[in-house]
């Protein structure tokens, strides 16, 4: 069986690149020979991550930008192509979580989640796909969430914004399939990142995640473990690879069975 890898010598742009799942995707792509334009709005964290990776000889370039700002996104994509060449792969991994029940969720928290999780995917995807279309090739993967298809108490804003990103990506994929561009979604569940850890208010948090919580209508994780960022990155790389060349408009759930296949 051939290696699951993006084409060596190609160029990828990854948002949310300063850590978590985005950081794992950047590393995985770079280790397979793909030049990566790493995008994040936290410039300090981004430059630290890029310095570490490039210091190990990996082809990673920092392109700071706030995905909620269409002008910043356009400038970052233009800079990435000028410095690295045509972007063939896009991974939308930037994400924001604000917990809270619907009646207690502030309008600001709701707006900020949609600005990053939904509008950010729109801004970046449009800027990159506009350049892919004339070239007749490309692959896009949006990192959404299993919460986009499975209701979660206290996560309505996050779930709704990820559902929006999911359907946007699939609709985009339908429009650009004729141009040889594939658009897919990876939907992680509980993954060992600062986002997950922020949801644990005490020492029982991990147990509730693994075992479930009847009060929150959560069934737990059948595989009995949380994901590592590398687990999600592996799914992203598969969908970018030639092994997935006939897959588009697909939603690949990576959650250890937590959403029971939803």
* Catalytic sites, residue numbers: 158
Task: Determine how β-strand 60-62 pairs with β-strand 11-15.
Answer: unpaired
Is residue 23 packed enough to be buried (19+ CB in 10 Å), middle (13-18) or exposed (0-12)?
Answer: buried
Q: How far is CA 170 from the centre of its chain?
A: 14
Task: Determine how β-strand 35-39 pairs with β-strand 11-15.
Answer: parallel
Q: How far apart are CA 201 and CA 223, in angstroms?
A: 23
DSSP class of residue 244?
G
* Contact between residue 33 and residue 8 where contact means Cβ atoms under 8 Å apart: yes
With both helix axes pointing from N to C terminus, report the angle between 120-135 and 156-176 in degrees, rounded to the nearest 10: 10
DSSP-based three-state secondary structure for 96: coil
Which backbone phi and psi does 171 adopt, to 5 degrees? -65, -40
Sign of CA dihedral 262, 152, 126, 32: negative
């Amino acid at each position: 069986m051939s290696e699951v890898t993006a084409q060596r010598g190609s160029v990828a742009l990854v948002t949310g690149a300063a850590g978590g799942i985005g950081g794992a995707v950047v590393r995985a792509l770079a280790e397979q020979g793909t030049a990566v334009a790493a995008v994040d709005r936290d410039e300090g964290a981004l430059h630290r991550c890029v310095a570490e990776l490039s210091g190990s000889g990996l082809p990673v370039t920092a392109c700071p930008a706030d995905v909620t700002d269409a002008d910043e996104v356009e400038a970052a994509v233009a800079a990435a192509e000028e410095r690295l060449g045509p972007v063939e792969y896009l991974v939308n991994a930037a994400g924001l979580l604000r917990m809270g029940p619907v009646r207690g969720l502030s309008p600001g928290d709701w707006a900020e989640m949609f600005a990053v999780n939904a509008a950010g995917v729109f801004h970046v995807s449009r800027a990159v796909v506009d350049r892919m279309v004339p070239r007749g090739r490309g692959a896009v993967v949006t990192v959404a969430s299993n919460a986009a298809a499975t209701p979660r108490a206290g996560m309505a804003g996050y779930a709704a914004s990820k559902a929006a990103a999911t359907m946007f990506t699939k609709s985009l994929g339908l429009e650009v399939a004729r141009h040889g561009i594939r658009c897919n979604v990876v939907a992680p569940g509980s993954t060992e990142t600062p986002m997950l850890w922020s949801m644990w208010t005490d020492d029982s948090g991990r147990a509730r995640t693994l075992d479930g919580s009847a009060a929150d209508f959560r069934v737990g994780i059948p595989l009995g473990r949380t994901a590592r960022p590398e687990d999600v990155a592996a799914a992203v790389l598969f969908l970018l690879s030639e092994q997935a060349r006939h897959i588009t408009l697909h939603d690949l759930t990576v959650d250890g069975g937590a959403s029971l296949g939803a």
